[in-house]
Structure 1
Amino acid sequence: MNRDIKNIVSQMTLEEKAGMCSGLDVWHLKGVERLGIPSIMVANGSNGLHKQTASSESANMNSGIPSTCFPTAAGLASTWNRELIREVGTALGEVCQAENIAVLLGPGANIKRSPLGGRNFEYFSEDPYLSSEIAASHIQGVQSQGVGTSLKHFAVNNQEYHRMTYDAVIDERTLREIYLASFEGAVKKGQPWTLMTAYNKINGSYASQNDHLLGDVLRNEWGYEGLVVSDWGAVDQIVDSLAGGLELEMPGNGDISEKKIIHAVKNQKLSVEVLDIAVERMLQRVFMHLDNKKENATFDQDEHHQLARKVASESIVLLKNTDNVLPLEKSSKVAIIGALAQKPKFQGGGSAFVVPTRVDIPLDEINQLATSEDLITYAPGYTLDSEDVDNSLMEEAILAAQVADVTVIFAGLPDGFETELADRAHLLLPYNQQQLIEAIAAVQSKVVVVLMNGAALEMPWATSVSSIVEAYLGGQAVGGAIADVLFGEVNPSGKLAETFPMKLAHNPSFLNFPGEGNRVEYKEGIFVGYRYYDTKKIEPLFPFGHGLSYTTFEYSNLTMSRTELSDTDTVDVQVTISNTGSRAGKETVQLYVKDIESSVVRPDKELKDFAKVELKPGEHTTISFTLHKRAFAYYNVALKDWHVESGSFEIMIGGSSSTIALGATILVNSTVSLRQTYDRNSLLGELMTNPVAAPILQALTQNFQASMGIAEGDEKTAKMMQAALTGMPLRNLVTFSQGGFTDGMVEQLLIQLNEQN
């Protein structure tokens, strides 16, 4: 329905306009009944709807209506499957329609800077391209049902420690290439109805009132036209936030903010025009909800549960599988060890908590798939409410393992280890679980460890076991999904969306996380995750993009539509992928780009595209990628734009960041000439690369060397002197040339060089 929103706003009083800029309560926006503006409801949930019950409309994180609990973001990203994530979003949109929810508060696109981040399970990846692609698909799915999303938490929100006050001190290039890039693609491709600001400051200014973030970047550069809402309690000063680009403060605080806004407008500290724009944007979203509302909307809980099982199965990452211990034979005698097999950990704590419609128990699902329940024995092995070793439980587990053909240990992080409001203290499993794994491995040669956790772990026991299955926090159907993978009903196809380091100390943010006091310096810069490990040649436990299969794949026939292009052109890259094994399976083909020689520091490689394909045994297909300027560019702070340096780039194709199967080189020519300005302190080595300055300086340096008494043929001393000269500023030629080069000559040379540019 077409509405004249500007006309509606013109009929509103100042009090009504000001009132709409903060919520009615925890979950509702204010309406204006006399103008036909209703109050609408928003709710948490990236992996399931967290809607408060009518009797408890507070911020209680552990209450709400039952809703299908899908895998958390860490698992969703591990599917590397855009289409499947879109299906999840569609299902979530259906639930929201049935529950009259206008906006679902998610997904979260923050970068996993450190594996200690308390909300890492809620975020997709350490890589901005993968994160933005998965987020965009999620948004598209939800919004296809006429329900809005709220992309969060914008931006540089990477820890829970002092999360409401810390200042993320970060350089512009790092901000653009890593932390904003994770949102940029999601904003442009997904067009989320709303965008939620983070709690923290960025370079001294709170995200909810950061005009560079919300004005320069989000509105002016990215062209975002949606509504900007604060995280709950993230606003420092409401008037500054409105001036900085925020439209809506949540939750409601009575009339406190309303009075501040009215006072600011009346005292000309906030323009009516800014206030009107904020209200217009809110009304656009309110009426979008009304116009897209489906009366008597319903959804099928059983279908959603089956989708949750499908997604959980595809999110599972087979990290290790020595001697093909997996998949299990259904006739094998299997010992199932671990309390998590009976009480699975399938989601994290905090505002993302979902009350599930049901929960598949791993032990029950395994019993259903085995030839006979008599083949399956179970021992809890440890308790979930303590890290202490229970000797009786340990002995029972060891006895069960000794008489089994294969032992499957369920391990993971109990409640409280991964949650909003607190970062992790370490990357280890609870002590009793570590001891259990080592003890079982000492008496059983075929040990499979199934992990239920939301982020990276250290695994000092990894070499002692045959197979490791990363199930992440796989949602309410994770039990069935694990059983499917263990017995080969599903061929695992998940790939890590984050690096698992050998040790926490190897992580690039280790010395600067979580900062000191309220100041967090991002000193590792652009070297986050695999960008750091690959560039520093530090072998991780499991690399970014890693994930095994029960079949094998072969890469061949890498071709490009051109071998030279300008930065305004595109290039098509094709590669053939073949299933060379005996089972049907899915493979994620990953494309990385490397700048072979750059004047600025760049990572060893960066993910620029990916595609997931399903192939039968013996089947092959050709995958096509199209690369644009951004695939080769870095963010040039001086230009305030993305820039490609002329030169050669390597296109790399493989199954992970560390298993590159094919490569090809392409020459990219920049259409942008960087203006180089020289001054008295420009280094001679830098000037010697200039064709005008080079012959002049060459003669001068030769004369300088001669005046220093360096004889011809004394190559060792000459080389040493040449090295010293390259690091010398131009002005020093006046000092050391004994009159051969004057200040006037310096000025004339600089004029000539700078006019040339």
Structure 2
Amino acid sequence: MRKVIITGALSVILAGNVLAQTPVYLDETKPVEARIEDALNRMTLEEKVAITHAQSKFCSPGVARLGIPEFWMTDGPHGIRPEVLWDEWDQAGWTNDSCVAFPALTCLAATWDPEVSMLYGKSIGEEARYRNKTVLLAPGVNIYRTPLNGRNFEYMGEDPYLAGRMVVPYVRGVQQNGVAACVKHYALNNQEVNRHTTNVIVDDRALYEIYLPAFKAAVQEGKAWSIMGSYNLYKDQHGCHNQYLLNDILKGEWGFDGVVVSDWGGVHNTEEAIHNGLDLEFGSWTNGLSNGASNAYDNYYLAQPYLKLIKEGKVGTKELDDKVRRILRLAYRTTMDRNRPYGALCSEAHIAAARHIAEEGIVLLQNKNNTLPIDLGKVKKIAVIGENAVKMMTVGGGSSSLKVKYELSPLDGIKKRVGKRAEVVYARGYVGDPSGEYNGVKSGQNLEDKRSPEELIAEAVQVAKECDYVIFIGGLNKSAHQDCEDSDRKDIALSYGQDAVISALAKANKNLVVVNISGNAVAMPWVKEVPSIVQAWYLGTESGNAIASILMGDVNPSGKLPFTFPVALNDVGAHKLGEYPGVPRNDGSKIVDEKYNEGIFVGYRWAEKNKITPLFPFGHGLSYTTFAYGTPVASSKTITADGNIQVSLTVKNTGAVAGKEIVQLYIGDEKASVPRPVKELKGFQKVELLPGEEKEVVFTITDNDLKFFDAAAHAWKAEPGKFKAYIAASATDVRSTVTFEYK
């Protein structure tokens, strides 16, 4: 039997706590689960309780006596957050904790490419590993229910199938580095306003069909090692200790064997935290030391109050042992894995990955008269206008705020790409938020400008008239009530008077390109006045290079929207039906009830049900080339429970440049016993084609693609009858259909 002696000195290095003098022998020849039981049996009651709660802002203790290291968390999901002090949010002042900022997850979802998602997860996982983190608090897969949600930019859009296909490789990519992905925020965290006090009321069918599938995919296919609970309530229990969500569904139905981590400040009750599925408590107070005589972390809900209940015989240790097993399993998967790779930080490979992800996710929304790409051989002077052309976007937005090695602005990226072939001039156009600081991370920019809106517009118009092309770069930013944690947007319109600027520019120059930087849909009352519109997202470190490469045609845009752009808020079910942001109770509590009256009809499902024409539909995205779809052929006209149908078609690049097309498969139930969407996304493939090249695309349809959730039976169900497969370039751009029957 092979034995490893864990000495006191080594354990001090590993865990940093006071140790018993007796060395511990661990048999590494045993399976991990046996070793977990061995460690569990060696732990004292006090050690077991201690391991279930934090000891600092982002660290929870291991068991130094047994050589089990501490657990270190870091915020994502777009980069590794800079270090803060042990017990404060202030910066720790490190000089080696800058990172690469990857594009926001809305951009990743817009790539519609699982291989790109794997690259993303692998790259950010390497950065987390290099910084010696145990858990990356990412990715987020909450469904885009309203365009006002301030945190939508951190998520993967409105469709559960798309989010599910994109989250799995991200999780796998992160975890191959020996870093746990912590998928968040489970579940129903679909708004930031009243996020701690909103009790979501949603029917089981919508829960299972819309809001849970991406989490289920992350757990069962991605094999996620941790899940973060949500702030909101469901069935009058907070998401971080919710019997139905955590015990019944996550750990019961899905068989999750990882750790449930609380969101910071998401725990409210010791008894519920004990019994309702929480494993590891973090952040229950903003300042851990101000709520206790010596160490307030001992006063956390799963700390001394838990230990006291056990010693008084009021609760047993069955739940505690389950929590500890899960936490020990996390240790063996991460810090105690001797084959864990070393990672890398700010590497050239990561910078290249960030740029590639950005270029793959940028969406060409509109391109009248082929205004784009810009032919530098025919251009002498280009005007770049707008605050977002120069404002750093990696600082701010909440917990995803980053300290980056560098962030190339769109203006600098365009100047770099244009070089000496044309003159590039800049005008401000509008003033939004001139500040640039979050939790002590400072952009270093001074964007103050005291001129009036009228003066700024007049300058922009004069500049526009003197140029061959005008590129307006605006949209939202990551300030409060824009795209930002802990606040929702006030409305869907662009802020800071940008609509007036854009309309004035459209009159001044016919070659106008609007680049919208945002993580949310925005209203565009000027859409018919503007030839070209580009959706650019928050693109991170390589933002300027990526935008320039699309505008100049170095890269053919291939991204497609992961959510619907409505014309107005009234075109969204959550707003049309009047419940958002919830109804306060009359019982004196702070609880707000938010009923999801639209049920399963979210995003394009709502628009199609109500025959609403969107501004830009889900799945929409143009290219600098054109694609011809062939006639689809089905392998059979019927499908059974144990069979499948293959639908195949050819796609040809009929234009003059290479490009990528995302072919989408939707399924519609022609007649059902329950209301169903007109169609639902059930497949997609991104195909790269040279000019004139043709490739075959094959989709496999199984009975799982035909099912709805039968709430009464609490089971997925496919009803016999006719179904239709839609081959489409977007939710509204259907190229062909195939009808088949389920028997």
Query: Which interval holds the TM-score relative to the shorter structure?
Result: 0.7 to 0.9
2:149 is aligned to 117
The structure 2 residue matched to 1:137, chosen from 161, 169, 183, is 169
Change (3 A) 1:431 1:314: same
Given the alignment of the two structures, is residue 492 of structure 1 paired with residue 566 of structure 2, yes or no? no
Matched, 1:310 2:356: yes
Match of 1:349 among 397, 401, 408: 397
Matches for 1:386-405 after TM superposition, within 5 Å: 389-405=452-468
TM-score normalised over the length of structure 2: 0.87
Q: Name the structure 2 match of 1:160.
A: 192
Amino acid across the alignment from 2:464: A
Partner of 1:382: 430
Q: How does 1:284-683 map to 2 (within 5 A)?
A: 284-292=329-337, 294=340, 297-299=343-345, 301-331=347-377, 332=379, 333-345=381-393, 349-370=397-418, 372=420, 374-385=422-433, 389-414=452-477, 415-416=479-480, 417-510=482-575, 511-517=578-584, 518-669=592-743
Q: Please say if residues 668 and 680 of structure 2, whose CA atoms lie closer than 8 Å, have aligned partners that are also in contact.
A: yes
Counterpart pick for 1:277 among 289, 297, 322: 322
What is the distance in 2 between the residues matched to 1:488 and 1:203?
51
Distance 1:63 1:238, change over 3 A: farther
> In the superposition, relative to structure 1, how do residues 365 and 212 fare at CA in structure 2: closer, same or farther (>3 Å)?
same
Select the residue among 45, 52, 59 that pairs with 1:21.
Answer: 52
2 CA distance for matches of 1:602 and 1:347? Answer: 42
Q: Which amino acid aligns with 1:396?
A: E
Q: Which 4+ stretches in 1 moved above 4 angstroms?
A: 60-64, 293-297, 386-389
What amino acid maps onto 1:318 in structure 2?
L
CA distance in 2, matches of 1:320, 1:347: 29
Aligned residue for 2:71? 40
- Aligned with 2:39: secondary structure? helix
Q: Deviations over 1:195-219 (max 9, x none)?
A: 1110111122221222211122112
Q: Render the CA deviation track for 1:233-291: whole Å, top value 9, x for unaligned.
A: 11121332221111111137521232221232234443212211110110111122123
Secondary structure of the residue that 1:355 maps to in structure 2? coil
The match for 2:297 among 222, 244, 254 is 254
Structure 2 CA distance for partners of 1:248 and 1:296, relative to 1, 3 Å:
closer
Change over 3 Å in CA distance of 1:550–1:607 after alignment to 2: same
Larger displacement relative to structure 2 (260-269 or 489-498): 260-269
Moved more, 215-224 or 364-373: 364-373
Of 120, 140, 144, 1:108 maps to: 140
In structure 2, the CA distance between the partners of 1:288 and 1:431, relative to structure 1 (3 Å rule), is closer
Q: Is the 8 A contact 1:178 1:526 kept in 2?
A: yes
Larger radius of gyration: 1
Q: Offset of 1:652 from its aligned partner?
A: 0.5
Q: For 2:632, what is the secondary structure of its paired residue?
A: strand
Superimposed CA distance per residue, residues 424-464 of structure 1 (whole angstroms, 9 cap, x where no aligned partner): 00111124321111111112112110111111100111111
Q: Tell me what 1:210 maps to.
A: 242
1:8 alignment partner, SS class = helix
Matching residue of 1:676: none
Q: Check conservation: 2:382, 2:422, Cα contact below 8 A.
A: no
- Once the two structures are overlaid, the 10-residue window that deviates more, 371-380 or 529-538, is 371-380
Between 72-81 and 377-386, the greater mean CA deviation after superposition? 377-386
CA contact (8 A) 2:565 2:617 kept: yes
**1:201 equivalenced with 2:247 (yes/no):** no
Q: 1:86 aligns with which of 118, 122, 136?
A: 118
Matched AA of 1:660: V
Q: How many residue pairs align between the two structures?
A: 668
The two structures have a TM-score, normalised by structure 1, of: 0.85
Contact 2:99 2:346 (8 Å CA) reproduced: no
**1:39 aligned partner, one-letter code:** E
Which of the pair is proportionally richer in helix? 1
Q: Deviations over 1:636-688 (max 9, x none)?
A: 0121100001100000011100001011011012xxxxxxxxxxxxxxxxxxx
CA contact (8 A) 1:128 1:181 kept: yes
**2:264 equivalent to 1:221:** no
SS of residue matched to 2:738: strand
Of the structure 1 ranges 179-188 and 452-461, higher mean CA displacement relative to structure 2 is found in 179-188
Aligned to 2:275: 243
Which residue is 2:7 aligned to? none
Structure 1 stretch displaced more, 587-596 or 381-390: 381-390
Q: For 1:213 and 1:574, how far apart are their aligned partners in 2?
A: 39
Q: Which residue of 1 aligns with 2:23?
A: none
Distance 1:97 1:547 in 2: 35
Opposite residue 356 of structure 2, the aligned amino acid is K
Which amino acid in 2 is paired with 1:36?
A: G
> Aligned with 1:656: secondary structure?
coil
What is the distance in 1 between the residues matched to 2:714 and 2:237? 20
* Partner SS for 1:463: coil
Secondary structure, counterpart of 2:583 in structure 1: coil
- Displacement of 1:300 after TM fit? 5.1
Q: CA RMSD in A?
A: 1.9
What is the rounded CA distance, in whole Å, between the counterparts of 2:573 and 2:702 in structure 1? 29
Closer, same or farther: CA 240–608 of 1 in aligned 2, 3 Å: same
> Given that residues 563 and 619 in structure 2 are in contact (C-alpha distance below 8 angstroms), is that contact kept between their aligned partners in structure 1?
yes
